[in-house]
Amino acid sequence: MVTSCPAAILKIMSEQQRDTRTEWKRLLNYRWMVRNFPYFLFLSALAVLYIYNGHYADKTVRNINKVNRELKELQYEYKTLKADVMFRSKQSELAKSVEIFGLKEAVSVPYLLKDSVDYSGRRGQTGISRK
């Protein structure tokens, strides 16, 4: 027998609400809380580790970006200094820079010095010769 009376429907709904309230009360009683305390503690520890891991990852990313910026800056400085050294080591620039010390570029062929002792045991020619 099915009744479509609104009072019967309300009565069934109120019984269901009462059942859910008693379920909640039953679930949240003291014995249940004490028994599941280690599980809640474990979940709390996992939450703290999750938050820590997120902060640690952010810190690591910031550190990596900082090191990359420093590396690029050092690479630019290296390239600049290398270009400067290459420019200054050209013969014409070197001659200009040592001119203030009174040094001049040699115009004659350099002398070739020969050793008077041949390392094979024989004596060689002595003296200075020109190339």
Question: In angstroms, rounded to a whole number, what is the distance separating the alpha carbons of residues 17 and 5?
Answer: 19
pLDDT interval class at 123 (50, 70, 90): low
Task: List pLDDT tens digits, range 49-90.
Answer: 999 999 999 999 999 999 999 999 999 999 999 999 999 999
Domain ranges of the chain: 1-35, 44-102
Question: In angstroms, rounded to a whole number, what is the distance separating the alpha carbons of residues 4 and 9?
Answer: 7
**117 neighbors 124 (Cβ within 8 angstroms):** yes
Task: List pLDDT tens digits, range 23-58.
Answer: 777 667 888 888 889 999 999 999 999 999 999 999
For residue 115, what are the β-bridge partners? none
Q: In the prediction, which pLDDT does 110 show?
A: 85
